[in-house]
Amino acid sequence: MAFLEKNFPIENPDTVLLFEELSLWSSYFGKLLLDHVPLRKGMSVLDVGCGAGFPLFELANRLDANSKLIGLDPWEAGIQRAKWKLQHHKLLPSVEIVLGDAAKMPFPDKSFDLITCNLGINNFDDPAAVVRECHRVLKRDGRLCLTTNLEGHFLEFYTAFEATLRELGMDEYLPKLKAQEQHRGTDETVRDLLEDARFSVLKIVRDKFQLRYVNGTALFNHFLTIIGFLPGWRSVVPSEVEAKVFAYLEKKLNEQADWDGELKMTVPVLYVEAVR
């Protein structure tokens, strides 16, 4: 009954810092994963792309004391944050945080019963190499459970962006826009990625949600947009026309929001569970 020994005084600054600084964005996908990921006693679990600790710590809190979990990520600042949380969550020794490349995992063959990956696929430099490594370090009949967003992400934005380029006479940038829109893949490409690494797909769950903004200005100034999406959007056009294009696009999105009463962005969500 170790939980009787734990104490997290709400007035303690360390307790406040433990409150997950998880973005609403990541939580949508993480909830889908947590709703479906298989759980049993004594599991060995690897969370690939653990970042600052989600869903790693949530999984650790849901599993038993005989389970062992490792979080792996190449993001040093995120790993340091996760290690700080680990000390204060008092989950030792069941959780370990490792700085490393998922395409070259520092683990022996057949080490894990379960690998999770929340929103990692689109961020890996070489997704195929990562999935092959997942296959290598999973035990026979082990599960790989991942979530990702798909082509169709922010469809409303890309529709307005395409119209902006056409109306400004910049059709030559449309192929780059299409490539930026489509790099997230589809149900089929995710399945192919897993099957090419000799996984068998057992379960696919599709869902979607909408993010709401008062207008395009709010969308562009949102923290998630600036760190997660804007670099890719800016890569579509050269720097010398960037200000003109984005001013026109912001105006178009604001006009759309005025007409509809708000601005909505649709996000398709996918959960995939595969077995080795």
Give pLDDT tens digits for 93-130.
799 999 999 999 999 999 999 999 999 888 898 999 99
Read off the tokens for 134.
């997942």
Would 276 be classed as within a structural domain? no
> Residue 3: exposed, middle, or buried by beta-carbon count in 10 A (0-12, 13-18, 19+)?
exposed
Examine the domain organization and report whether 163 and 133 are in the same domain. Answer: no
Examine the domain organization and report whether 105 and 220 are in the same domain. Answer: no
- The CATH number that applies at residue 13 is 3.40.50.150
Would 189 be classed as within a structural domain? no
Q: How many domains does the chain have?
A: 2
**What's the rounded Cα separation, in Å, for the pair 163 and 230?**
18
Examine the domain organization and report whether 92 and 165 are in the same domain. Answer: no
Examine the domain organization and report whether 123 and 173 are in the same domain. Answer: no
Examine the domain organization and report whether 113 and 26 are in the same domain. Answer: yes
pTM of the full predicted structure?
A: 0.89
Q: Pick the last residue of a domain from 149, 164, 195.
A: 149
Query: In this predicted model, what pLDDT tens digit does every residue of 38-87 receive, in sequence order?
Result: 999 999 999 999 988 999 999 999 999 999 999 999 988 889 889 988 98
Examine the domain organization and report whether 56 and 129 are in the same domain. Answer: yes
Examine the domain organization and report whether 67 and 163 are in the same domain. Answer: no
**What's the rounded Cα separation, in Å, for the pair 34 and 119?**
13
Q: Which domain holds residue 243?
A: 155-178+211-265
**What's the rounded Cα separation, in Å, for the pair 33 and 205?**
10
User: Average pLDDT in the 170-199 region?
Assistant: 94
Query: In this predicted model, what pLDDT tens digit does every residue of 131-160 receive, in sequence order?
Result: 999 999 999 999 999 999 999 999 999 999
Q: Residues 96, 73: contact at Cβ < 8 Å? A: no
Q: Are strands 263-275 and 200-213 parallel, antiparallel or unpaired?
A: antiparallel
Examine the domain organization and report whether 125 and 164 are in the same domain. Answer: no
Examine the domain organization and report whether 12 and 130 are in the same domain. Answer: yes
Would 222 be classed as within a structural domain? yes
Examine the domain organization and report whether 136 and 257 are in the same domain. Answer: no
Q: What pLDDT score does 182 carry?
A: 87
Examine the domain organization and report whether 100 and 82 are in the same domain. Answer: yes
Examine the domain organization and report whether 115 and 236 are in the same domain. Answer: no
The region of weakest confidence among 19-23, 143-147, 205-209, 218-222 is: 19-23
